[in-house]
């Protein structure tokens, strides 16, 4: 099964964030950054109230809680901004690209932006369907986010997902049998 769709820089930012969110390493970085920002806020507030350590500890605790609440949205905005600048640097004013994805029994292939790749189902970790995409997450090559606009209907999107999952499960079963 082969599908084709147009994607934008915003789609590239979204796809990159999805791949990053799927990474255990990146999730651990974010957790550590969240904890360190809370500790840093607590410490700074505590230092301001050094002459009244109990007051500093209490206000520091509330500052740490606020930092923990605010950090995710600040981090999201920072990542969006940095990725936007990065892709703008790489692609300039061009904001429309074509992606072609084909599923075969041995793997999936992608073709976009003057490059193409073929990936075996054995390298796939997970296939996820959502309202806006079918996402194939792989250890090698990262994977691919196939946008819903690649499909003529939700039924075709479901068919694509089921076929990808069928090939993926067959590869996993073959690997387990070896």
- Tell me the per-residue pLDDT of 23-77, one tens digit each, with 9 for 90 and over: 889 889 999 999 999 999 999 999 999 899 999 999 999 999 999 999 999 999 9
Checking if the pLDDT of 178 tops 60, the result is: no
- Please give the Cα distance from 139 to 41 (Å, whole number): 36
- Please give the Cα distance from 156 to 1 (Å, whole number): 10
Nearest to 17 by CA among 5, 29, 6, 26: 26
**What is residue 175's predicted lDDT score, i.e. its pLDDT?**
64
- Please give the Cα distance from 164 to 168 (Å, whole number): 6
Residue 100, classified by CB atoms within 10 Å of its CB into exposed (0-12), middle (13-18) or buried (19+), is middle
Domain range 2-8+94-177, CATH class: mainly beta
| Residue 103 contacts residue 1 (beta carbons within 8 Å) | yes
Checking if the pLDDT of 141 tops 80, the result is: no
The predicted model gives 76-82 an average pLDDT of 94
**What is the reported pTM?**
0.78
Q: What are the start and end residues of each CATH 2.30.29.30 domain in the chain?
A: 2-8+94-177
| Residue 46 contacts residue 60 (beta carbons within 8 Å) | yes
- Please give the Cα distance from 28 to 3 (Å, whole number): 35
């Amino acid at each position: 099964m082969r599908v084709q769709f147009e994607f934008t820089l915003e789609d590239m930012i979204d796809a990159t964030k999805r791949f990053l969110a799927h990474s255990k390493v990146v999730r651990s970085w974010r957790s550590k950054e969240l904890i360190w920002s809370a500790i840093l806020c607590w410490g700074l507030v505590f230092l301001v109230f050094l002459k009244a350590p109990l007051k500093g500890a209490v206000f520091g605790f509330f500052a740490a809680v606020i930092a923990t609440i605010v950090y995710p949205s600040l981090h999201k905005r920072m990542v969006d901004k940095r990725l936007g600048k990065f892709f703008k640097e790489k692609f300039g004013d061009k904001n429309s690209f074509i992606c072609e994805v084909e599923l075969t029994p041995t793997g999936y292939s992608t073709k976009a932006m003057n490059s193409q790749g073929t990936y075996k189902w054995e390298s796939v970790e997970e296939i996820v369907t959502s309202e806006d995409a079918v996402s194939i997450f792989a250890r090698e090559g990262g994977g691919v986010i196939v946008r819903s606009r690649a499909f003529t209907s939700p039924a075709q999107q479901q068919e694509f997902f089921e076929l990808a999952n069928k090939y993926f499960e067959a590869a996993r079963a073959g690997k387990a049998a070896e």
